[in-house]
Amino acid sequence: MYRCDHGKNEREELISIGNDIIALNKTNSDRTKQQKFYSKILGNQEIDLFKNINSNILSFENFVWLAWSVKESVYKFNKRNNDEVLFSPTKIIIQKVDVPFQPQALKFNAQFERISFDKKTCFCCEVLFGSAVFYTRTLVFDDVIFSVANNTNCFENICWGIKAIHDDSYKTQSSEVRKFALKKLNKYYLDEALSIKKTLGGYPILVQQNNLPISFSHHGKYVAYSFINYGK
């Protein structure tokens, strides 16, 4: 399992979390490959990064959506604490992509929950946003891509989960992701009636744990959560 390595970019921990999920069957594969589409997400130096990745490990379409989910999760990490932040994908720059040690097509089966990420199976990115560096972990399944962002290169205490749901209406996505996260949170905080509320900016928090930040994402028939587990 990957050990924490804060390295040169060690900073005071900013309490935040951001994730993003992409249901690949909800994307337009032909359009994704068109320059007019991907050039609104990727800069030239990021396209160069792809040239060093074996296309058997990651197709170009999946690279585009990996980049999108990485950038969106970094944006969400920052937006939670600064309402002025704007989302402009080409201004969030992926500087480095480490491919999994043991790349293989990951099969998604209904539900997946873990603490931390295994470098054998995940893509690790270093991302520049403004003058700050962020780090992400991404899992590429056969039908879904999921990323989590942090401002240190440590993901040891990050709990996350992905789940397939029965329909893709907004109401179902919203209620299912809350139920899914609360079920996991209740395993850590046993004796409390937990409730998830939203901040004024619209970001989920766990009220009973000093407004612990929780990140939700949904796309199509998939929902995902992530939060930091502080030593429980």
Partner 1 sequence: MSRQEILDGLKTVLGPYTMDKQALNSMNDETEFIKDLKINSANLIDIIIDAEERYNIEIDADSAEKIHNAGNCIDVIMEKMKEKS
Site for partner 1 in 206-225 (CB under 8 A): 218-219
Within a 10 A sphere around the Cβ of 18, how many other Cβ atoms?
25
* Beta-bridge mates of residue 164: 222
- How far is CA 106 from each of CA 45, 109, 213, rounded to the nearest angstrom? 27, 9, 28
Place of tokens 């337009």: 28
Among positions 41, 93, 140, 223, the unique one binding partner 1 when judged by CB under 8 A? 41
Q: Is 86 in the site for partner 1 (CB under 8 A)?
A: yes
Residue 213 CB, nearest approach to partner 1 (Å): 18
Residue 169 CB, nearest approach to partner 1 (Å): 7
Q: How many helices (H) and strands (E) in the chain?
A: 5, 11
Name the phi and psi angles at 211, rounded to 5.
Answer: 55, 45
Contact 47, 76 (CB under 8 A): no
Query: Residues 167-206: x/- map of binding to partner 1 (CB under 8 A)?
Result: --xx-------------------------------x----
Among positions 17, 22, 139, 158, the unique one binding partner 1 when judged by CB under 8 A? 22
Among positions 5, 6, 25, 31, the unique one binding partner 1 when judged by CB under 8 A? 31
Residue 203 CB, nearest approach to partner 1 (Å): 12
Q: Is 90 in the site for partner 1 (CB under 8 A)?
A: yes
